[in-house]
Amino acid sequence: QLKLVNPSQYRFEHLVTQMKWRLQEGRGEAVYQIGVEDNGLLVGLSEEEMRASLKTLRRMAEKVGADITVLREREVDYDSDVPRKITEVLVRKVPDNQQFLDLRVAVLGNVDSGKSTLLGVLTQGELDNGRGRARLNLFRHLHEIQSGRTSSISFEILGFNSKGEVVNYSDSRTAEEICESSSKMITFIDLAGHHKYLKTTIFGLTSYCPDFAMLVVSANTGIAGTTREHLGLAMALKVPFFIVISKVDLCSKATVERTVKQLERILKQPGCNKLPLLVNSDDDAVTAAQQFAQSPNITPIFTLSSVSGENLDLLKVFLNILPPLTNSKEQEELMQQLTEFQVDEIYTVPEVGTVVGGTLSSGICREGENLVVGPTDDGKFLRLKVCSIQRNRSACRVLRAGQAATLALGPFDRSLLRKGMVMVSPEMNPTICSVFEAEIVLLFHATTFRKGFQVTVHVGNVRQTAIVEKIHGKDKLRTGEKAVVRFRFIKHPEYLKIGAKLLFREGVTKGIGHVTDLQAITTKENGLEESLGPGQLSF
């Protein structure tokens, strides 16, 4: 917008309507640049005009129930004696009916790079003492506290209110309070860095569908251990990532610069093809967040310390402005499909019964809804009822596509459930299969990959051992080769979709690809099964 000085009533209404539409497009967020013409010319406004324009913008925001925060101001050299400025303003709508923006960020990096400590500092709001005090609240198991290593997947939340201030556990807030007072929630998925927990890390990346990944690299060790592997995983699963170099308080400036150069070199390699962007000021952080969302090739790099708190604010500014990847239209389309919920975790809660955690991949799920869950070991689907829904530890009536939540199933027998199942609406008539084909690329293999080879296959939340039954057109595969391969699951059939991303591993063997064909087993309502011939796909 150029300027918004004392608009007429009609013009004001028009501007408010436009703002409503923009907020809806950006799912509750929009950035206004004041002092810029529609064709992108930086004209700038004088002090008075700017003040009047911001006042109008504030009135507009109040009208639609939003708050505004000034992100940054810049002086423009325009042919005039008066200094002229342009301002960027973030408009964010206060959430009505718990519709906060929810971004999931997976946290990757080598063991001892400071992932859990950084999250502890961000979510608890107090700095670390250099010996790992900040991460103690994140650990889920006793052995993690003793060894200081994360071995399971834990979730941490960080909120931003509509004014762009951080809402976290400081001031002894509970998780429910954070949810209530935030208009944007960032859920960090803390993954394990140690090599022996790689399968847990892959599961976290494939089944929790993170929007972004944060790769943490320790400044004093540089790129070591599983860092390259995690970088490769994020790229294989096409998760946009940004990089945080931690522990800068431990080393000299030269060491930090060396680590940055090392990272930039790797990112510019032909395999990565990324454009590193080093963030040194608030201005950089704002630019980084906007550029990062628009083009996936840009990789912002932050250098910070969880002990001295250096540059920690830049990361917070970046996370506050980071827009969601899907716009509202794509989400609307997902919500109109039939309900499908991926089961990632199963718990038993006293006096509640069985509880499942996971992500709703399409449709809408309401309290009291009847769904079917499966496939069981013999390929059947069982009926169940959703008793209640919780999102980020606070109750919620309706779950929309793309949101993660836990559903209470009441007295349903827990032993019938396992990770990798799906809960779908009964009319969906889900297809399950034991045999499927996928187009794969072999990333790394010690010898040759051939028929009869057993690998662990990850597709979304499905994780199971499969045997290679046939490699089309070839006898064997070597590193870097592409082929269509037929796999058969060893234990039980699974629910797969064509086009789903696939990752497999076995020891040092690794490969990626996508599902191209399923040999479906159809299940009749009464539990009788009939098999379709290969190539005939029932949907």
Q: Name the domain boundary from 60, 91, 122.
A: 91
13-31 burial string, b = 16+ CB within 10 Å, else e?
eebbeebbeebeebbbbbb
H helix intervals, 26-166: 47-64, 115-124, 142-147
Q: How far apart are CA 230 and CA 213, in angstroms?
A: 10
Residue at 529 is within a domain: no
What confidence score (pLDDT) does residue 407 get? 92
For residues 180 and 252, membership in a common domain is answered with yes
Q: Is residue 537 part of a domain?
A: no
Judge if 219 and 237 occupy the same domain. Answer: yes
Q: Would you state the pLDDT for residue 145?
A: 64
Would you say residue 65 lies in a domain?
Answer: yes
- Which amino acid is residue 156, in one-letter code? E
**d(Cα 125, Cα 172) in Å, to the nearest integer?**
10
Last residue of one domain, picked from the residues 377, 400, 422:
422
Is residue 388 assigned to a domain? yes
Q: What values do phi and psi take at 529, rounded to 5?
A: -115, 145
Give the residue from 422, 452, 472 where a domain finishes: 422
**Is residue 319 domain-shared with residue 347, that is, in the same domain?**
no
Range of the domain at 184: 99-324
Is residue 467 domain-shared with residue 496, that is, in the same domain? yes
The reply to whether 308 and 351 lie within a common domain is: no
442: burial class by Cβ within 10 Å (0-12, 13-18, 19+)? Answer: buried
Total number of domains in the chain: 4
Pair 320, 413 in one domain = no
Residue 272 has what pLDDT?
A: 83
For the chain, 539 residues long, the average pLDDT of each consecutive 10-residue run is 82 90 83 86 86 91 88 80 86 67 88 87 84 72 65 82 84 76 87 82 84 93 86 87 93 92 90 90 90 88 92 92 77 86 90 90 91 89 91 81 88 89 88 92 82 91 92 88 94 90 86 91 47 37
CATH of the domain at 493: 2.40.30.10
524 inside domain: no
Q: What is the pLDDT of residue 170?
A: 79
Residues constituting the chain: 539
Q: What is the pLDDT of residue 523?
A: 55
Q: Is residue 477 part of a domain?
A: yes
143 in the same domain as 65? no
- Residue 303: per-residue pLDDT: 95
CATH number of the domain residue 62 falls in = 3.30.70
Residue 539 included in any domain: no
Sign of CA dihedral 123, 125, 130, 131: negative
Distances (CA, A) of 1 to 44, 77, 156, 413: 11, 18, 38, 58
d(CA 357, CA 361) in angstroms, rounded, equals: 13
Please report the DSSP string for 240-301 in residue order: -EEEEEE-TTSS-HHHHHHHHHHHHHHHHSTTT--EEEEE-SHHHHHHHHHHHHH-TTEEEE
Residues 258 and 286 in one domain: yes
- Residue 170 phi/psi, 5-degree rounding, is -65, 165
326, amino acid identity: T
Are residues 344 and 218 located together in one domain of the fold?
Answer: no
Same domain for 410 and 452: no
Residues 11 and 70 in one domain: yes
Instruction: State whether 287 and 352 are in the same domain.
Output: no
Does the residue 532 lie in any domain?
no
CA–CA distances in Å: residue 87 to residues 33, 50, 152, 293, 490: 6, 8, 44, 20, 60
Residue 277, domain CATH: 3.40.50.300
* Assigned token pair, 334: 């997902």
